[in-house]
Amino acid sequence: MEDWVKFVSAIIERIGFISAVIATIASIIFYKLFVVDLLWTIVVGCTTYIIVLCIVKLVKFFKRCFTLYNECRSRRLQSYWFYETLSDGIKTSLRELYKMPQKQHKYCRIVAEDCDINRQIIYDCKYIQRHTEDYNLIIISEGLGSDRYTIIIDEFLYDVIRKNN
């Protein structure tokens, strides 16, 4: 008898208590209403469990999609308002950075310190990185032993720059 208790408790832990209860209730109701066969009762119980499990997973999926949508919307608005608070000089530098050719990634640019415009872009990007460390809107890193910098723009800020270009 103890083995059956362990078996049933393991099944309930595995499939979830609420889903097991709903499937069991549906099986009992089906058995009491139609009094057909025990096999059909088991089939109805399993089918009910699968349906309940699918509904639970679907609800979790929609909740996750809604959460991701709200996060993306929030980051998009945050990037838009951040861009609007920048000075005209920094906006110009970001537009020039956007116009530079892409290397291997859409949001990445490699900038060399070979002219005044590029130096200004690097300076402005370092300024933005210093003052927005928590948000990672722009990440700039210097190449080893060279005057080239890799600048990675946040995808939402990139979209804002593209729309304002």
Taking alpha carbons only, the member of 146, 147, 127 closest to residue 137 is 127
Q: What are the pLDDT digits (tens) for 80-90? A: 999 999 899 99
Q: Which pLDDT score, from 0 to 100, does residue 11 have?
A: 66
For the chain, which residues score pLDDT lower than 50?
Answer: none
Q: Which pLDDT score, from 0 to 100, does residue 160 have?
A: 92
83 within 8 A of 165, measured Cβ to Cβ: no
How many other CB atoms are there within 10 angstroms of residue 161's CB atom? Answer: 19
Q: Which pLDDT score, from 0 to 100, does residue 106 have?
A: 86
Q: Residue 104 and residue 92: Cα distance in Å, rounded?
A: 24
Q: Which pLDDT score, from 0 to 100, does residue 1 have?
A: 57
14 within 8 A of 37, measured Cβ to Cβ: no
Q: What are the pLDDT digits (tens) for 116-145? A: 888 899 899 888 888 887 778 898 888 877
| 138-142 and 148-153 strand pairing | antiparallel
Q: Which pLDDT score, from 0 to 100, does residue 35 have?
A: 65
113 within 8 A of 125, measured Cβ to Cβ: no
